[in-house]
């Protein structure tokens, strides 16, 4: 945007500058400063004369008083037009604003114009040099949690730099901002808490949720990630400490899908916690009570949903994240048709899981419906994947829903899900099959002969040597996903999977693992994580104005992701594109979703853009610094009252 309008601004500014320079300055300091500005050559790294330090009365809204010779500050002019631009934020406020700060990348000229000259060390750095500096700082820290704290501090100090660091080093930085380190951060949230980010709504705020949302200063929030902290990764109930998750997810929204930071809002709904350690911990930052449930809980969530719409509109996406199992399914059913919402653990995970399977089928060279799939864990993640598998089988294999379901078996904490179990929750019932009760996983794998085994139960190591060997006996290329997070909860490691199956396994994990050597070959583990999906879903929902996100979007996203897996990825054993290509992947998925929304006639952003790719890309956050345009550069853009009179 700015790239296009900048030449116009500069042309108009040149005319204005000529006009101004012919005027008489009432304040000699103004004349002096103006002359210095004209002689400054942008991009030239020169030391300014010391006398250029701007006196405090010439900073901020008193900086230039030249509006056609009238005694008006430029701020007054902009304020009148109701347009507060970055150019109006000067002095320390500029450096302290993480959205506008460039730290040492402010040029000497910008420092003079913004009244921050002398407030920074004299060196001027490029963003590339700053990124290298950040990597140097990160490299000195040994503990991943310290690295997390450093990155969060950077986010609070210089947003563009943080996101540039992430985008240039996704595979190194994502494990710090996201799983596994974000899990550690949640466990220690009380200890590492430093400054506000996002919104905490407690049970006691019931009846006042809208007022709390109004306290958040951004008027253009487009994506909210909300948790109630009940099931944080595979770490259980973390109460208010769960806030690390919405913050981490939204950092990925910006880094990987270009949703602007000011359009993102992390929210924690604190209804207490059943985590005894937190309840006893003097530095626990949440309300120190047992978790509330029932009618009052539902009323609070309902009030929250409506307050969001009232504050930011029907198109504001609300992503449910890491809610406990019961609430997650219930709330999704309740809100999915009437709000712009999805549950990432159910639907986002479904999409990434199916994408991995679709890519793996290019190795096994069969259809999804030719496989028997066994899910270990029948919770949000696996029920989500199972349901989307049914959809994928129907659309690909031309089989009935009933036949598709028969290909799918599930195990929960009580064993195999079979018809004779009468206590089953509604979401499990459609997967109950005729079989005797069974709890031993090796026996189940032996009996049912699955070719695909997917774990999401947060039971580390449950895919034992016996289970993996049996999978290898079942078929030539068994598919095994160990999706539980963080790393410590994985059902098996890639090393175990390759060794126990003698290299025949097609493996993916939810958290990152380094490459594995087996039998002279290096295997790269694909990360089956919903991070491949939710940023793209949010970008598409925002761009097209999708008001209700139906299940078909997640199948399309899965296909779009699978289509980006290259033969070279498969050859290395990875069924996902490399993490470093995540920004490109999210963009492509979002474009496919936007095209679909317009084709389906459910997009609400009108007129329909002809070039969807350009349309999506134009809305994405750019980590490059923008020139700090001084106030009098901006003047020609707006018409003063005198200009209006002249043009009449």
Q: What stretches of 397-474 adopt beta strand conformation (E)?
A: 408-412, 415-416, 452-455
Place of tokens 């951060």: 185
Nearer to Mg ion by Cβ, of 321 and 569: the residue is 321
Q: Which is nearer to ligand NDP, 400 or 439 (CB)?
A: 439
User: Of 90, 305, 411, 467, which lies in the binding site for ligand NDP, with binding defined by CB under 6 A?
Assistant: 411
Beginning with the edge strand found earlier in the chain, give each strand of the sheet holding 199-202 in spatial order.
199-202, 264-270, 223-227, 317-320, 341-343
Closest CB to ligand NDP among residues 528, 573: 528
**Per the structure block, which two tokens stand in for 156?**
């609070």
Is residue 345 at the binding interface for Mg ion, with CB under 5 A as the rule? yes
- CB of 234: closest distance to ligand NDP in angstroms? 3
Binding map of ligand NDP across residues 420-439, x = CB under 6 A, - = no contact: --------------------
| Residue 321 labeled ligand binder | yes
Taking CB under 6 A as the rule, does residue 528 contact ligand NDP? yes
Q: Which of 233, 317, 541, 629 binds ligand CC(=O)C(=O)O (CB under 6 A)?
A: 233
- Choosing from 249, 260, 489, 612, which is the catalytic residue? 249
The yes or no reply on residue 382 touching ligand CC(=O)C(=O)O (CB under 6 A) is no
How many other CB atoms are found less than 10 A from the CB of residue 222? 24
Stretch that binds ligand NDP, among 66-74, 373-381, 444-452, 575-583 (CB under 6 A): 373-381
Contact (CB, 8 A) for 464 and 479: no
- Residue among 623, 625, 558, 517 nearest 170 (CA): 623
Q: Rounded to whole angstroms, how far apart are CA atoms 426 and 198? A: 34
Return the number of the residue (233 or 543) whose C-beta is nearest ligand NDP.
233
DSSP single-letter state for residue 640: -
Q: Quote the least distance from Cβ 284 to ligand NDP, whole Å.
A: 22
Answer yes or no whether residue 345 interacts with ligand CC(=O)C(=O)O by CB under 6 A: yes
Q: Is 478 in the site for ligand NDP (CB under 6 A)?
A: no
Name the token pair of 56: 């405090």
The annotation status of 288 as a binding-site residue, yes or no, is no
Q: Is 197 labeled as ligand-binding?
A: no
Specify the residue, 341 or 484, whose C-beta has the smaller distance to ligand NDP.
Answer: 484
The backbone torsions φ and ψ at residue 542, rounded to the nearest 5 degrees and listed phi first, read -70, -45
CB of 553 to Mg ion, least distance (A): 18
* 299 annotated as a binding-site residue: no
Binding of ligand NDP by 483 (CB under 6 A): yes
Of residues 115 and 234, the one with the C-beta less far from ligand NDP? 234
Comparing every residue's Cβ against ligand NDP, the nearest one is: 379
Q: Is 569 a known ligand-binding residue?
A: no
Annotation says 178 is catalytic? yes
Q: Which is nearer to ligand NDP, 102 or 489 (CB)?
A: 489
* 414 near ligand NDP, rule: CB under 6 A: yes
Cβ atoms of residues 496 and 467 within 8 Å: no
* Identity of the residue, 486 or 636, whose beta carbon is nearer to ligand CC(=O)C(=O)O in the bound complex: 486
Binding partner at 528 among ligand NDP, ligand CC(=O)C(=O)O, Mg ion, none, C-beta below 5 to 8 Å by kind: ligand NDP
Instruction: Tell me which of ligand CC(=O)C(=O)O, ligand NDP, Mg ion, none is bound by residue 414, counting a contact when its beta carbon lies within the kind-specific cut-off of 5 to 8 angstroms.
Output: ligand NDP
- Torsion region of 520: left, alpha or beta (phi above 0 gives left; psi -120 to 50 gives alpha): left
Q: Which stretches of 463-520 are assigned E, i.e. beta strand?
A: 479-482, 506-509, 516-518
Contact 147, 138 (CB under 8 A): yes
Binding range to Mg ion, per CB under 5 A, among 156-164, 319-327, 369-377, 557-565: 319-327
Residue 322 lies near ligand CC(=O)C(=O)O (rule: CB under 6 A):
yes
Catalytic residue among 33, 148, 163, 178: 178
Tokens describing residue 621: 């956050």
Q: What is the DSSP string of 341-371?
A: EEEIIIIIHHHHHHHHHHHHHHHHTS-GGGS
Q: Quick check: 510 binds ligand NDP (CB under 6 A)? A: yes
Dihedral sign for Cα atoms in the order 342, 428, 269, 301: positive
483-542 binders of ligand CC(=O)C(=O)O (CB under 6 A): 485, 529-530
CB 440 within 8 A of CB 363: no
Distance, in Å, from the CA atom of 570 to the CA atom of 578, rounded to the nearest integer, reads: 11
Bridge partners of residue 133, in order along the sequence: none
C-alpha 178/C-alpha 6 separation (Å) is: 37
Q: What is the 3-state secondary structure (H, E, C) of 52-94?
A: HCCCHHHCHHHCCCEECCEECCHHHHHHHCCCCCHHHCCHHHH
**525: exposed, middle or buried (C-beta count within 10 Å: 0-12, 13-18, 19+)?**
buried
If DSSP codes are grouped into helix, strand and coil, which group holds residue 222? coil
Q: Is 101 annotated as a binding residue?
A: no
Q: Which of residues 39-58 bind ligand NDP (CB under 6 A)?
A: none
Distance CA 304, CA 186 (A): 23
* Apex 534 CA angle, 529 and 538, nearest 5: 170
Judged by CB under 5 A, the number of residues near Mg ion is: 2
147 makes contact, choosing from Mg ion, ligand CC(=O)C(=O)O, ligand NDP, none, with CB < 5 to 8 Å by partner type, with none
Confirm or reject binding of residue 456 to ligand NDP (CB under 6 A). yes
Is the bond leading into 46 cis (omega within 30 degrees of zero)? no
Q: Which is nearer to ligand NDP, 112 or 487 (CB)?
A: 487
**What angle, 0 to 180 degrees and rounded to 10, lies between the N-to-C axes of helices 325-335 and 380-397?**
50
Q: Map residue 207 onto helix, strand or coil.
A: coil
Query: Which parts are annotated binding residues for (S)-malate?
Result: 231, 485, 529
Give the active site residues. Answer: 178, 249
Q: Point out which residues bind Mg ion (CB under 5 A).
A: 322, 345
Binding site for ligand NDP (CB under 6 A): 231, 233-234, 325, 345, 349, 352, 377-382, 411-414, 456-459, 483-485, 489, 510, 528-530
- Residues of this chain that interact with ligand CC(=O)C(=O)O (CB under 6 A) are 179, 233, 322, 344-345, 485, 529-530
């Amino acid at each position: 945007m700015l790239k296009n309008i900048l030449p116009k601004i500069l042309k108009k500014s040149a005319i204005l500058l000529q006009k101004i320079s012919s005027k008489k300055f009432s304040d000699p300091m103004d004349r002096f400063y103006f002359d210095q500005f004209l002689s400054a050559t942008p991009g030239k790294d020169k030391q300014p004369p010391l006398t250029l330090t701007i006196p405090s009365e010439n900073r901020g809204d008193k900086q230039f008083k030249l509006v056609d010779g009238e005694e008006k500050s430029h701020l007054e002019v902009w304020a009148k037009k109701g347009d507060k631009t970055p150019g109006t934020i000067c002095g320390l406020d500029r450096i302290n604003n993480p959205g506008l700060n460039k730290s040492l990348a402010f040029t000497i000229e910008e420092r003079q114009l913004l009244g921050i000259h002398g407030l920074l060390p004299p060196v001027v750095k490029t963003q590339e040099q700053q990124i290298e500096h950040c990597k140097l700082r990160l490299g000195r820290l040994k503990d991943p949690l310290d690295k997390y704290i450093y990155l969060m501090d950077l986010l609070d100090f210089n947003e563009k730099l943080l996101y540039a660091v992430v985008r240039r080093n996704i595979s190194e930085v994502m494990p710090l901002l996201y799983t596994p380190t974000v899990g550690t951060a949640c466990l220690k949230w009380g200890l590492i808490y430093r400054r506000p980010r996002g919104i905490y709504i407690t049970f006691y705020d019931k009846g006042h949720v809208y007022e709390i949302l109004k306290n958040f200063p951004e008027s253009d929030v487009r994506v909210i990630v909300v948790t109630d902290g009940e099931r944080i990764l595979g770490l259980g109930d973390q109460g208010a400490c769960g806030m690390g998750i919405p913050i981490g997810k939204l950092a990925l929204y910006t880094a990987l899908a270009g949703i602007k930071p000011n359009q993102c809002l992390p929210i924690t709904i604190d209804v207490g916690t059943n985590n005894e350690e937190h309840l006893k911990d003097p530095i626990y930052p949440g309300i120190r009570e047992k978790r509330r449930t029932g009618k009052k809980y539902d009323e609070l969530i309902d009030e929250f949903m409506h307050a969001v719409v009232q504050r930011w509109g029907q198109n504001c996406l609300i992503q449910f994240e890491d809610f406990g199992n019961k609430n997650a399914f219930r709330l999704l059913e309740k809100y999915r048709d009437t709000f712009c919402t999805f549950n990432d653990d159910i639907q986002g995970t479904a999409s990434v899981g199916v994408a991995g399977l679709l890519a793996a089928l290019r190795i096994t060279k069969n259809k999804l419906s030719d496989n028997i799939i066994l899910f270990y864990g029948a919770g949000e993640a696996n029920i989500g994947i199972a349901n989307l598998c049914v959809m994928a089988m129907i659309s690909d294999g031309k089989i009935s829903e009933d036949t598709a379901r028969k290909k799918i078996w599930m195990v929960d904490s009580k064993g195999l899900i079979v018809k004779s179990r009468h206590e089953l929750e509604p979401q499990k019932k459609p997967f109950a099959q005729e079989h005797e009760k069974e709890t031993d996983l090796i026996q189940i794998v032996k009996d049912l002969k699955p070719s695909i085994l997917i774990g999401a139960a947060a039971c580390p190591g449950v895919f034992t040597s016996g289970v993996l060997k049996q999978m290898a006996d079942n078929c030539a290329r068994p598919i095994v996903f160990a999706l539980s997070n963080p790393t410590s909860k994985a059902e098996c490691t890639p090393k175990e999977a390759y060794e126990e199956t003698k290299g025949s396994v097609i493996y993916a994990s939810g958290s990152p693992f380094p490459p594995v050597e087996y039998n002279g070959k290096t295997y790269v583990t694909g990360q089956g994580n919903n991070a491949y999906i939710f940023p793209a879903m949010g970008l598409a929902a925002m761009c097209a104005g999708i008001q209700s996100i139906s299940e078909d979007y997640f199948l399309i996203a899965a296909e779009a992701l699978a289509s980006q897996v290259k033969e070279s990825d498969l050859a290395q054993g990875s069924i996902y594109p490399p993490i470093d290509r995540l920004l490109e992947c999210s963009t492509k998925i979002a474009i496919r979703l936007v095209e679909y929304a317009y084709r389906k006639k459910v997009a609400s952003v009108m007129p329909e853009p002809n070039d969807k790719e350009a349309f999506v890309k134009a809305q994405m956050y750019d980590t490059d610094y923008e020139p700090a345009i001084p106030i009098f550069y901006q003047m020609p853009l707006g018409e003063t009252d005198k200009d209006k009179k002249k043009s009449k």
